[in-house]
Structure 1
Amino acid sequence: MTGKKGVAGFWPVGGYRISFRRDGRWYADDEPIENRKIARLFSQHVRPDGEGGWVIDLGIDRQRVDVEDTPLVVVAVEGDPQSGFRVRANDGIETPLDCETLCVGPDNALYCRLDRGERGVLPARLLRPAYYQLANWIEEDAEGAVLPCKGKKYPLRPCPKRD
């Protein structure tokens, strides 16, 4: 590569087709991005573009991103029904799980929404390990599958349709 490095300290991302796939990995021109620091940086800066799509916004460097499913994935779930659950996403941020946002998508995948401050409340898909960590606590009642948490039962409803 020739030219100047971008403000973020690496080559600007504008010359590549960047994508985030449902497996929770970043890709540049269909090649996996193996550098974990770059992948986390992208995850920490992905945001809605205001037109129904997604961008990585690094200040001066800004790149459109093809998001296959959700812009974030949940990599781990900790906790229990008494104290509540915490989720860690691929951006490295750990937050309480808002059980009201938990829903079931295609192929019985679990989804939730994560508050990311200025970036907004973003949808996230639970990767398989996180799914099974949470599934240990799911119960069946007359209404169907529910997640007990802090004295309440949250029904696992189908996710709303996304455009």
Structure 2
Amino acid sequence: MSTKSETGLDGVIAAARQAPERGLPPVHLWNPARSGEIDIVIRRDGRWFHEGAVIGREAMVRLFSTVLRKDPDGYWLVTPAEKLRITVEDAPFIAVRVDREGDALRFLTNVGDEVIAGPDHSIRVETDPYTGEPQPYLHVRRGLEARIARPVFYELVELAEERELREGLCLGVTSNGAWFPLGAAGSHLP
């Protein structure tokens, strides 16, 4: 066994592999002194690229997602030895599925995270200032979000109920005791 700590991409892979099954390493507790950048980009469509080439191995992307952290100064892949800044075009994950389970909405992300929307995992919707289209997001963990895929958002709209707010009639969904506004009633019609 080597006593030299691994760095760069090899170090990220080694740290992520230490996580038990789907458990997550405690990246929020790691504060390595060494930092740098790595040419990894998470595109808006959820695909991960390294040095311009798509990372085609789904298992590798899932592995990297377990050591991803968002700090005030950006997104980082973090190991006990170092942290490497990466580029994220929108949100690092995509919510690709939603299921109603009793009074909860369970989401599945493109990297295998299962998230139940609620007080700790909020749904928020921004509006694109140019197109007026809704841009929905789900909080996954520690500041990391998933953009809710368009078909999944349409499912949420189908599940939505109207509520009268100060701003007017609003559509929203309830999950795990929390209500999340999706937008003005009628604004999601084609």
- Contact 1:103-1:157 at 8 Å conserved across structures: no
Gaps of 5+ in 2: 1-6, 15-35, 185-190
Is residue 93 of structure 2 the alignment partner of residue 89 of structure 1? Answer: no
Deviation at residue 136 of structure 1 after TM alignment: 2.2
Secondary structure at 1:69 match in 2: coil
The answer to whether the 8 A contact 2:122-2:180 is kept is: no
Going from structure 1 to structure 2, the CA distance change for 1:152 and 1:32 (only over 3 Å counts) comes to closer
Count of residue pairs the alignment pairs up: 147
TM-score after normalising by structure 1 = 0.72
> Letter of the aligned partner of 2:138 in structure 1?
C
| TM-score, normalised with respect to structure 2 | 0.63
**Per-residue CA shift, 1:109-142, capped at 9, x if unaligned?**
211212x3xxx13222112332233232123444
Q: 2:176, 2:139 → 1: CA distance?
A: 19
Residues 172 and 180 in structure 2, CA contact (< 8 A), matched pair in contact too = yes
- The Cα offsets for residues 34-57 of structure 1, whole Å up to 9 and x where unpaired, read as 111111112222102342x00112
Match of 2:181 in 1: 155
Unaligned 5+ segments in structure 1 are 159-163
- Counterpart-to-counterpart distance in 2, 1:89 and 1:54: 18
Moved over 3 A (4+): 58-62, 139-142, 148-154
Matches within 5 A, 1:87-126: 87-98=107-118, 101-105=122-126, 106=128, 107-114=133-140, 116=141, 120-126=142-148
Distance 1:69 1:75, change over 3 A: same
Give the residue type in structure 2 aligned to 1:63: L
The sequence identity of aligned pairs, in percent, is 29
Of the candidates 121, 129, 136, which is equivalent to residue 158 of structure 2? 136
8 Å CA contact 2:103–2:174 kept in 1: the answer is no
Q: Which has the larger radius of gyration?
A: 2
Does the 8 A contact of 1:139 with 1:147 survive in 2? yes
Aligned to 2:4: none
Stretch moving more, 88-97 or 19-28: 88-97
